[in-house]
Chains A and B, each alone.
Chain A
Amino acid sequence: MGEAADQFFVRLQHWLVGHVPVSLQPIVSSLLGVVAILTVFAGLFAVTTVLERKGLGRIQNRYGPNRVGPFGFLQPIADGIKSLTKEDVVPHAADRAVHFLAPLVLVLAAFSLYAVLPIGRNMVLANLDAGVLFFFAVSSVMELAIFMAGWSSRNKYSLLGAMRAIAQMVSYEVPLILASVAVVMVSGSLSTVAIVERQAGYTGILPHWFVFTPWGFAGFVIFVVAATAESNRSPFDLPEGESEIIAGYYTEYSGFKFALFFLGEYLGLFAISGLGITLFLGGWGAPLSVLSWVPSYLWFFAKLLAMIAMFIWIRGTLPRLRMDQLMNFAWKFMLPMALLNLITAGVWCFFSQQGVLRWLVCGVLVVVPYVLLSRSLMQGLKLKKRVYRFAE
């Protein structure tokens, strides 16, 4: 019963493909996977926009949108109609071809990222041998799309926003990739399916997810912070800072192209959360072995929704980082921590027998440098106890 529900979509795909002549079967099979990804993740984008606005609203002590539909949950439909019917304004001096192509390239790259994420057991669109490398290669195309958007608008604020966004994304790619390299090192493979299968065992009822190891936990924290910066989300959203440079690199976009940028950014966020889940949180595995009867894709989406909730929470809570603070953080703190995390992962594999010793050694290797490095980096700042003028 559990297995039937788990493999339901795989069997549905096989059944649908069986109706097609044999020569066309691979193409139709891939097409069905692509259609499924498009519908599911675009639907998730719609739900996330309203969840985010309501979540941020409650954090800021107000209701979010509550006019359209029950508790405002049909708001994405209203947003979609608005963005489709708005006039598409292109500045006179803008470079029309590149201006048109930039959101297309962004959305194309964002959708391609889902090809290597295993959504459930046997449910990956392309089981590439170098899946993680494919993911990072395609996400670097997104940076080019942002440059195209900022440059083609012929607006100095857009260009400035685009340059800042690219500097930020390039800087935070380094700790992101180094944190993933630790996982690849321990699993011995770049294939996302193999990495998920490495985390599929249970000792007792506890899973073997990488996040439950010292290096995995530090790596996951580094990965999440770098992913927040990669997706230009608060607290790293200076490139699109609404109060500083209007909307940064997509100032000159209106209507449907703006909606496409929005879509591309959120899809990038979901994809990078999906990669974090695959690398650190055990992919489609259940958190306790007694819960393995729940279908695998439900666990993947549950973890994805939890990560999205965390991103929305962080957005509503933390203030924005300034550009120099952001870059200092990336190069002076995240990069050394990511390198030390690599060493810790190596030490963990070196102590290959189970035992308290390797937990102790790796725990010390993670905690002590973190404390020392953060203390030394905060020496220059004179921080006093925070006093709130109106909230006492």
Chain B
Amino acid sequence: MLFTIFAVLTVAGAVAAMSFRNLVHSVLALMVSFCGLAAVYLLLGAQFVGLAQVLVYVGAVAILIVFAILFTREPSGKIQSIVSPSWAASGVVVLAVFGVLAWAVLHSSATQSGAVAPVDTSMQAIGKALMVQFAIPLEIVGLLLTVALIGAVTIAVHEKREVR
């Protein structure tokens, strides 16, 4: 029953994010949807993923999207229609993507076999796996983040010199 509540919350948040006219309202509805997803992760017992979802998405990505909106658009927003002129073509694309995703999920190993051997998903196990088995991907992700940080600083420094 708890799963139903959180699933409804997630889907309602996503639908609301698509249907609000005001962009910032859409972002906030999307964040509600992400919180619903985090609750689903916690229900499944994946503590790290659920809490990291809140920390990264609601904490950082929301602020990122909001800054991007504020820097590129009128915040008080002209009322835009939520149905675009090319709704037929985009409807076909949406249905095609949904079909592919549904096929992939239904034919994946998650729904095929019977009982799967339970994997230890405690924090200790995740930490050990990150340090031993997935050490190289961890380092590559760190490198990627460093590159992004250096890029952001380079752009900001360049802008400051232009303003002066």
Instruction: List residues of A whose CB falls within 8 A of some B CB.
Output: 93, 95, 97-98, 128-130, 133-134, 136-138, 140-141, 143-144, 147-148, 151, 154, 159, 163, 166, 170, 189-190
Contact = CB atoms under 8 A, between A and B. Distances in A.
Interface string B106-132: 000000000000000011100000000
Contact of A98 (B25, B54, B123): B25
B58 A129 contact: no
B51 A140 contact: no
A137 B25 contact: no
Interface of B: 22, 24-25, 28, 31, 47-48, 51-52, 54-55, 58-60, 62-63, 66-67, 70, 75-76, 122-124
6 contacts: A98-B24, A133-B48, A137-B51, A137-B52, A137-B58, A189-B123
Given A143-B63, A144-B58, A190 B123 contact: yes
A134 B51 contact: yes
Contact of B51 (A98, A130, A147, A163): A130
Contacts of A147: 63, 66
Nearest to B75: A151
Given A95-B22, A129-B123, A130-B51, 18 more contacts: A133-B47, A133-B51, A133-B55, A134-B51, A137-B54, A140-B58, A141-B54, A141-B58, A143-B63, A144-B31, A144-B63, A151-B24, A154-B76, A159-B70, A170-B63, A189-B123, A189-B124, A190-B123
A252 B55 CA distance: 28
A140 B59 CA distance: 5
A143 B31 CA distance: 13
B161 to A, nearest CB: 16
Given A129-B47, A166-B63, A138 B54 contact: yes
Contacts, number: 62
Q: Is the interface of A mostly helix, strand, loop or mixed?
A: helix
Contacts of A93: 76
Contacts of A143: 59, 63
Nearest to B59: A140
A140 B58 CA distance: 7
B69 to A, nearest CB: 10
Contacts of B124: 189
B76 A140 contact: no
B28 to A, nearest CB: 7
Nearest to A188: B124
A136 B58 CA distance: 12
A376 B106 CA distance: 61
A140 B24 contact: no
B107 to A, nearest CB: 33
Contacts of B48: 130, 133
B52 A133 contact: yes
A141 B66 contact: no
A137 B59 CA distance: 7
A236 to B, nearest CB: 18
A130 B63 contact: no
B159 to A, nearest CB: 15
Contacts of A144: 31, 58-59, 62-63
Contacts of A151: 24, 66, 70, 75
B47 A140 contact: no
A166 B123 CA distance: 29
Residue among A129, A138, A166 with the most chain B CB within 10 A? A129
A167 to B, nearest CB: 9
Contact of A130 (B28, B31, B123): B123
Counting from the closest, the 10 A-B pairs by CB-CB distance are A140-B59, A137-B54, A137-B55, A133-B51, A130-B47, A137-B51, A134-B51, A190-B123, A130-B123, A144-B62
B20 to A, nearest CB: 10
A198 to B, nearest CB: 15
Contacts of B55: 133, 136-137, 140
Nearest to B38: A137
A147 to B, nearest CB: 6
Contacts of B28: 98, 148
